[in-house]
Amino acid sequence: MRILDKYILRNYLKTFLIILLSFSILFLVVDISDRLPRLLSKDASLHDVMLYFLLRIPYLVLLSSPVMVLLSGLFVMNNLSKYGESIAIRAAGISILRMVTPLIWFGLIFSIFIMFMGDMILPKAEEYRQYIYTEKIKNMKVEDKKMRSHINYLGKDGNLYYIGFFDGYRNLLKTIDISTFDSETGELHKKVTSTNAEWKDGEWLFNNCDIRYFENNTLAEMKHYDVTSIKEIDVTPIDFIKSAKKPMSMNFFELKEYIERLKKIGEKYGKELVELNLKISFPFANLIILLFSVPLVSTSSRSRGRGLIFAIGLLVCFLYLSALRICQSLGYNEVLSPLLAAWLPNLVFGLVGIGFVVKAEV
């Protein structure tokens, strides 16, 4: 690594660590002042309260990482321009893009780190934080939603399922109606009704079950079984259980598996799919936002536009985060596809950031 690369990267890291520490302290102070009275009113122990707030740090760091990355870049670029170092570097025949290459590499590596933190550290921290708040402080139990009623869904085999009630504690289904339609004509082919079904040895056993076969929408045959199993039903008790975890408290693979479960029983999963895509797209905001600090290095130390560029950089960061939230909401409401909702802000601001870098070279 060149001496210049080490110099720029060292200054950037020093500034970044100072801002990271400052932001962490600031956010903790705000969070503590807002929530501490309510926690103390529940007679929470000091140990639990301290853990509750410390476990909030990964979320605060991840949420504010684009702002910290941009501020660090703006301060470093400002100092290089302020003391004429950028002029000397460019006079030596080094382009602006080459000058900021170590920062771009940092942005890429930091984006990968944030992705890792959001997938490995944040879910565990949020899950344990929820456990402390619910069980230790509020003296309640954290558990999945295991009791559900009136479940309707279209299976992957094209069967239409209706479950009157699901008891996840006993793995029991009640009031079951399964209709099979001809894929070409849409005519009713078979109907299965059962008073209840129990999950035993990896399959559903249907009690008091009637299977009716139809031809030309007319009943052709009916069979009654006191107890029988139906192999084509591929759902398991876990598929009916709604997770008490929020998407933020799941890692990528847990959330992906949960979405597959929701798909299987016909539940809406648009919100979860948006969050799944955001787990990949949001970390790269750190690389994209960093590009907006580059134009500051090309301004003169006496230029009045320096403060304006600094303000524009912060405004861009605010606009990016706002655009991300708007697209997220549009994705939740199925106005945008989950993929587009997660990646559109990155695409737009990434192109604008590249344009800023190219213009700075001119």
| Closest alpha carbon to 144 in 174, 162, 166 | 166
Instruction: Report the distance separating Cα 240 and Cα 244, nearest Å.
Output: 13
Q: Is the pLDDT of residue 143 over 70?
A: no
Compute CA 335 distance to the chain's CA centroid, rounded to the nearest angstrom. 18
User: Do the Cβ atoms of 100 and 294 come closer than 8 Å?
Assistant: yes
Residue 301: band (very low, low, confident or very high) from pLDDT cuts 50, 70, 90: very low
For residue range 220-251, what is the model confidence (pLDDT) as tens digits? 889 899 998 877 677 788 877 766 667 777 88
Please answer whether residues 162 and 176 qualify as being in contact, where contact means their C-beta atoms are separated by less than 8 angstroms: yes
Of 63-72, 123-132, 142-151, 347-356, which range is least confident?
142-151
What percent of the chain clears pLDDT 70, i.e. is strictly above it?
Answer: 90
At how many degrees (to 10) do helices 338-361 and 270-281 cross?
30
Longest Cα separation, the chain:
92
Structure tokens at 81: 């321009």
* Tokens standing for residue 16: 């970044």
Per-chain mean pLDDT for the chain: 82
Are 338 and 273 in contact by the 8 Å Cβ rule? The answer is: yes
For residue 254, the tally of other CB atoms under 10 A from its CB is 15
Cα torsion angle, 72, 66, 13, 84, sign: negative
Q: Which of 4-18, 66-80, 85-99 has the highest mean pLDDT?
A: 4-18
In this predicted model, what pLDDT tens digit does every residue of 262-298 receive, in sequence order? 777 767 888 889 999 999 999 999 998 888 877 766 5
18-46 average pLDDT score:
82
DSSP state of 49: H
User: H-helix or E-strand containing 227?
Assistant: strand 218-229
Distance separating alpha carbons of residues 48 and 44, to the nearest angstrom: 7
Task: Please give the sequence-ordered ranges of beta strands (E in DSSP) within the chain, or none if there are none.
Answer: 147-154, 160-167, 172-181, 188-200, 203-215, 218-229
* Tokens describing residue 116: 């890792």
At 157 the pLDDT is: 67
Give percent of the chain above pLDDT 90.
16
pTM: 0.73
The pLDDT, as a whole number, for residue 129 is 86
Residue-level pLDDT at 341: 92
Place of tokens 């079984």: 225
Instruction: Name the token pair of 275.
Output: 């969050």
The arithmetic mean of pLDDT across residues 21-37, rounded, is 84
